[in-house]
Structure 1
Amino acid sequence: MNLAEGTPTPSGRDLVGLAGDQSAQTLPADHTQAILEVTKEVAGVLKSSECLFALVGSVAVHAYGIPVRLQHDTDFAVRREDAELVTRVLGDHGVEIVEPPEDWLIKGRRDGEQIDLIFALADRPVTTELLERAVTLPVDSVHMPVIEPTDLMVGRLTALSEHHCDFGALLPVARGLRERVDWDRVREEAGDRPMAAAFLYLLELLDVIRPRTGREGGGSDG
């Protein structure tokens, strides 16, 4: 009993239960299946438009068999010159199109799930070459082009910054893709950025990848 107020004081067990209830309320919902359904629908529309595209982001990671919990949206890389056609075709198929203030993407919404149509990955424009390197993979049984593993890692590393630097989320991706990634190209395209360089060095220390030539120590790319 709280003598000052005359009300019961929660026990230790009660406090644990309250903390658990609050944590459950603040955790984002798992939208994995709902996002996959929208991903398949959008991919079908984009394939019918004959525009080049590739699945990117967390759903691309999922397509490579790396366990991730999908919570926010599905992302597709498209060329800027195809934006008008892509948005028109998606709009004709019931996707609500929203043009945000950012000039590097267009947002859509379908069945309550967010769709990002991206023209630039970490300030690098989506090019024909990048899209042509995409790998065709099944995403929940529907085949679609998925960003190539090296391009996926380059995009993830160049997106790291002082304000967004979650190595914990990126480490399973690097481990899962390590044998399919050209790490020399990753170093060439992203390694001059401080956060990317730090993450690559962490991978060396953990024996996920071989160290840079001339650096002492051992490691393995596979």
Structure 2
Amino acid sequence: MPIEPVRRLAAALQRRMNEAARPASDKPEGPRPFPDMAPTLKHACAALRAAHVPHALTGAPACWVYGAPELGIDWDLVLPPEHRDRAAEALEAAGLRVERPPEGWLMKAWDGDVLVDLITEPLGAPVADCLTRATEERVLGMPLLVLDPTDILVSMLLARSELFLDYERLLQIARPIRERVDWERVRRATAGSPYAVGFLALLDALGVTARAPLGSGLSPSLTG
């Protein structure tokens, strides 16, 4: 039997197995340690590399690489929008179930009950610019581009709204990576968002950034 039909049959079988393992809701179960989801990241990145699709780790998983908490619900990857269709084909051929939500900037790829979000239009800067600032890191034993912490935080802050604040999670991420972030670039890029400005004021008051307010009167225990 020719190799290509065998590959297609194997991929179809893998998709059936993934469908059976998929959770009832459209959100993955969690949170759980990122290392527990390592096989999915390696599987997805191997498929994208083989298809020559540029990609990089972003979001909470990328911040974990830089020292933030290791708990999360999925993997986040960015890739150029012009590679969207090729990425979907590569992931489907590798056995992942690919979904295309109404949002044009997002695709979802399921590997069993583990989700990979594929983002083609991150908030704050074009993917091409973000990829030029990304650095190669060793992630779970494999080399992988990881977005710059400043770009990640800008995107996270611009996503905040009155319906989605979650400052608690942001604070857990910002504290451990604070020395890696260009806070002035974050301020410039998010100046138009009152929710970002408010969060940065909170970080200033807590001493997370270098711009603690004068005369704040906060005790050292609150600014550590």
Q: Report the TM range for the smaller structure's normalisation.
A: 0.7 to 0.9
Name the CA distance, whole Å, in 2 between partners of 1:88 and 1:44: 13
Q: Deviations over 1:11-37 (max 9, x none)?
A: xxxxxxxxxxxxxxxx94636344222
Report the AA paired with residue 162 of structure 2.
Answer: E
Q: Evaluate the alpha carbon distance shift between residue 179 and residue 217 of structure 1 in structure 2; reply closer, same or farther with a 3 A threshold.
A: farther
Q: Evaluate the alpha carbon distance shift between residue 178 and residue 29 of structure 1 in structure 2; reply closer, same or farther with a 3 A threshold.
A: closer
Name the CA distance, whole Å, in 1 between partners of 2:35 and 2:131: 25
Q: Note the C-alpha offset of 1:112.
A: 2.0
Q: Deviations over 1:145-178 (max 9, x none)?
A: 1111110110111111111111111112211111
Q: What's the counterpart of residue 65 of structure 1?
A: 67
Root-mean-square deviation (Å) = 2.3
Q: Deviations over 1:82-134 (max 9, x none)?
A: 11111111111111111112211111111221121111223x56421211211
Name the CA distance, whole Å, in 2 between partners of 1:67 and 1:128: 27
Aligned: 1:93 with 2:94 = yes
Aligned: 1:114 with 2:115 = yes
Report the AA paired with residue 216 of structure 1.
Answer: L
Q: What's the counterpart of residue 104 of structure 1?
A: 105
SS at match of 1:121: coil
Aligned: 1:216 with 2:211 = no
Q: What's the counterpart of residue 181 of structure 1?
A: 181
SS at match of 1:120: coil
Give aligned pairs, total: 190
Matches within 5 A, 1:42-191: 42-71=44-73, 73-122=74-123, 124=124, 126-191=126-191
Name the CA distance, whole Å, in 2 between partners of 1:100 and 1:115: 13
Name the CA distance, whole Å, in 2 between partners of 1:111 and 1:150: 32
* Structure with max Cα Rg: 1
Query: CA contact under 8 A between 1:36 and 1:139: conserved in structure 2?
Result: no
Name the CA distance, whole Å, in 2 between partners of 1:148 and 1:64: 10
Query: CA contact under 8 A between 2:150 and 2:185: conserved in structure 1?
Result: yes
Query: CA contact under 8 A between 1:60 and 1:147: conserved in structure 2?
Result: yes
Q: Evaluate the alpha carbon distance shift between residue 126 and residue 91 of structure 1 in structure 2; reply closer, same or farther with a 3 A threshold.
A: farther
Name the CA distance, whole Å, in 2 between partners of 1:146 and 1:217: 38
Name the CA distance, whole Å, in 2 between partners of 1:171 and 1:141: 28
State which of 34, 37, 40 in structure 2 corresponds to 1:38. Answer: 40
The sequence identity of aligned pairs, in percent, is 32
Query: CA contact under 8 A between 2:131 and 2:147: conserved in structure 1?
Result: yes
In terms of mean alpha carbon deviation, does 193-202 or 84-93 score higher? 84-93
Q: Note the C-alpha offset of 1:49.
A: 2.4
Report the AA paired with residue 70 of structure 2.
Answer: V
Name the CA distance, whole Å, in 2 between partners of 1:217 and 1:51: 51
Name the CA distance, whole Å, in 1 between partners of 2:185 and 2:163: 25
Q: What's the counterpart of residue 203 of structure 1?
A: 203
Name the CA distance, whole Å, in 2 between partners of 1:69 and 1:51: 27
For normalisation by structure 2, the TM-score amounts to 0.77
